[in-house]
Amino acid sequence: MDYPLLNTFWTIMWVFLWVLWFMLLFRIIGDIFRDDTMNGWGKAGWTAFVVLLPFLGCFVYLIARGKGMGQRELQRARTNEREFQEYIRAAATATETPAGTGHADQLAKLAELKEHGDITAEEYARAKEKVLAG
């Protein structure tokens, strides 16, 4: 092989930077399309700017809207977590008994949800009362 070690290092570095660049580009384009506060013309303008002048467009986007990217991502994560917790609570406190399951199985599932912190002690007590009453 006639490929020096330094050339291998430079090749690996450039491939890494190239992959990093595309990750940044896709993240910016994803943020443009997920932003609910921006209208269609704004999305079209930013997308054209980022696609036609990629380096300048990405750097300007990061300077102008970079802080908002993190805030929007955090808000999406919080919303998803809240919706998931609401779903778990609704499933845990359901009054309908699935066919073939007894009170002991339902109480065991409720206790497991409480241990994992998916439902509060108050929700556990209400659901337990419903299971024992039903």
Q: pLDDT class for 20, splitting at 50, 70, 90?
A: very high
Give the pLDDT band (50/70/90) at residue 99: low
Residue-by-residue DSSP string for the chain = ----HHHHHHHHHHHHHHHHHHHHHHHHHHHHHH-TTS-HHHHHHHHHHHHHSHHHHHHHHHHHHHHHHHHHHHHHHHHHHHHHHHHHHHHHT--SPPTT--HHHHHHHHHHHHHTTSS-HHHHHHHHHHHHH-
Span 32-74, pLDDT tens digits: 999 989 999 999 999 999 999 999 999 999 999 988 999 999 9
* Tens-place pLDDT, residues 119-128: 888 888 898 8
Q: Determine the Cα–Cα distance for residues 26 and 58; give it in Å rounded to an integer.
A: 10
> Residue 55, CB half-sphere, CA atoms under 13 Å: how many?
1
Global pTM value: 0.57
